[in-house]
Amino acid sequence: MPKEKNIILGVCASIAIYKACEIIRRMREEKINVTVVMTDDAEQLIRPVVFQSLSGNKVYRGLFDDPQVWEIEHVSLADKADLVLVAPATANIIGKLSGGIYDDLLTCTVSATKAPVVICPAMNENMYLNKVVQKNIKELKDAGFNFVGPRKGNLACGKIGIGCLASVEEIVKGVKKFL
């Protein structure tokens, strides 16, 4: 029987955060173990207990939270990951990763992993098409990061445009491809 795969699901503060719940559910159906790492801002939109209940695992949040056991969390999380998935990924997290700004648990985990990283952008069309955001995406792709989406659809601002989080099916397919 093959070993269960482990992914880190990095969750950022996007209105698409609710789709992370379905991503976890689908990953579990695929026999993929999911550990969630939330940004501080993501906690303003959804409580960690939701992700803990769906994944069955502890949710990691702050870089300086008190560890249950002595370990450097971002390194131990990075070492255990077969893949790191950031969904939804905001313009902020994309910019931080592109610029080498590792100032929270999620960015530190991404910087420490040797596993494939899959980024799923979700933001307003104007933000997504911003020249700086596009430059950051190109730099990350050139550095070996993988991207799934975004797609065109109904945006939180009420307009239709590019920037919607890829469908859960597309994300699952992408994860399986890069595992």
- Domains in the chain, ordered, with CATH? 5-178 (3.40.50.1950)
Task: Give the global pTM.
Answer: 0.92
Q: How many Å separate Cα 95 from the centre of its chain?
A: 14
Secondary structure class of 97 (helix, strand, coil): helix
141 vs 36: CA distance, rounded Å: 23
Mind listing the pLDDT tens digit for each residue in 100-144? 999 999 999 999 999 999 999 999 999 999 999 999 999 999 999
Contacts for 104 with CB less than 8 Å, ≥ 6 apart = 39, 40, 62, 63
Determine the Cα–Cα distance for residues 93 and 175; give it in Å rounded to an integer: 19
Average pLDDT over residues 88-102: 97
d(CA 20, CA 62): 19
Q: What one-character DSSP code corresponds to residue 4? A: P
Identified catalytic residue from 21, 120, 157, 164: 157
d(CA 72, CA 154): 40
Q: Is 12 a catalytic residue?
A: no
Q: What is the pLDDT of residues 29-66, one digit of tens each?
A: 999 999 999 999 999 999 999 999 999 999 998 765 65
